[in-house]
Amino acid sequence: MKKWLFWFSAIVVLAAMQAGVRDVIGPYYFQILILVGINIILAVSLNLINGVTGQFSIGHAGFYAVGAYTSASLVYYGQTSIRAAISFLPHMAQDVVLLLLGLLAGAIAAGIAGLAVGIPSLRLRGDYLAIVTLGFGEIIRVLILNIDAIGASRGFSGIPLLSNFFWVYFFVLVTVVVVHNLVDSSYGRAFISIRDDEIAAEAMGIDTTRFKVMAFVISSMFAGIAGGLFGHFEMNLHPNSFLFTTSFYLIIMIVVGGLGSIEGAILGAILVTVVLEAFRGFGPFRLVNFAVLLVLIMLYRPQGLAGNWRLFRKAGAR
């Protein structure tokens, strides 16, 4: 029953921090803290495709966008009727139900998008898959730019504020635990075998297409959740948040952290988010300095920040 103890204490700690963290660190750092959490969810989920399964996807921002806009529009347009249906609940509980419904819708929509992209394109290898996923991300963004009901190029504003520190970091925990458990099971071994040697994996009875699509869908669903949390925190969404540069930053996070490692994805997400903010003082040289930092990290630690360091014990080992 240690599992329940873990989740119980996590919820208590998060709730306590939710009460005070914003006042202690101030709104600016609070904003960054939330962004770090959302980027951890994105990086850890992307790592499942790029790091663990070895498929090169550069369209993660697309799934992030699908989740963000789906979740936001469900709540924006459905808010009145949903609240009416659950009017017996206190207002705060209604908010929670709305948020969770929104995140669920975001996750499902992003998962379906992942399935739709994954089934035809995961037969492709390497560069070809990268191009298809890049194209997908751009298609999503252009679609959003042309749908008036979700704000088109004006941006989607008026999204109710529903997510907060508690929910962001609760889903960070969920993402990390789910991905870790998955990687440390027969499924994870199947994913890694595809990365190591696809032909041998097939010969050992692993249906590589099916497992690639599975990794893709699971990863997209978490990107969708991250999108929902983002929209309901920022209260407005703009297609420019989902440019392909967003996908590239996510790839930088997992490469800098150490491809294939959950710890690495977390470290990378923290580092890239914080450094990009901290370098704002450099003005026009911000990205130059950022690039120099990346080159230095890769020169001195090519295996990524995490390398072989493991925070989470493998349940299988010993």
Binding interface with other proteins (CB under 8 A):
3, 178, 181-182, 185-190, 192-193, 195-197, 199-208, 214, 218, 260, 315-317
Per the CB < 8 A criterion, the answer to whether 168 and 273 are in contact is: no
User: Among positive and negative, which fits the CA dihedral 286, 287, 291, 297?
Assistant: positive
Residue 40 or 190 having the CB closest to other proteins = 190
| Minimum gap (Å) between residue 60 Cβ and other proteins | 20
Q: What is the nearest approach in angstroms of other proteins to the Cβ of residue 199? A: 6
Between 138 and 202, whose beta carbon lies closer to other proteins?
A: 202
Residues 206, 187: Cα–Cα separation, whole Å: 10
Token pair belonging to 123: 């037969």
Q: How far is the CB of 185 from other proteins (least distance, A)?
A: 4
Tokens of 134: 């890049």
* Residue 242 identity (one-letter amino acid): F
Sequence-ordered list of residues with C-beta below 8 angstroms from that of 76, at least 6 positions apart, any chain: 156, 158, 159, 160
Q: Which of 308, 228, 231 is nearest to 264 (CA)?
A: 308
Q: How far is the CB of 135 from other proteins (least distance, A)?
A: 27
Min. distance of Cβ 188 from other proteins in angstroms? 8
Tokens of 102: 């929104």
Comparison of 120 and 205: residue with beta carbon closer to other proteins: 205
Could you give the CA distance from residue 102 to residue 38 in angstroms, rounded to a whole number?
16
Q: Please, which residue, 231 or 264, has the CB nearer to other proteins?
A: 264
Q: Could you tell me the smallest distance in angstroms from the CB atom of residue 187 to other proteins?
A: 5
Instruction: For other proteins, give the closer residue by CB, 191 or 290.
Output: 191
Kindly provide the residue ranges of all beta strands, DSSP E only, lying in 139-244, ordered along the sequence.
156-157, 236-237
Instruction: Give me the residues paired with residue 237 across strands.
Output: 156
CA distances from 49 to 179, 251, 303, 313 (A): 11, 11, 18, 21
- Name the residue type at position 188: G
CB of residue 269 to other proteins, shortest distance in Å: 21
Nearer to other proteins, 279 or 312 (CB): 312
Tokens of 166: 């508690």
Residue among 191 and 233 whose Cβ is closer to other proteins: 191
Sheet strands (E) in 86-214 = 156-157
Please identify, using beta-carbon distances, which residue of 92 and 317 lies nearer to other proteins.
Answer: 317
Q: Tell me the C-alpha distance between 110 and 42, whole Å.
A: 13
Q: How far is the CB of 204 from other proteins (least distance, A)?
A: 4
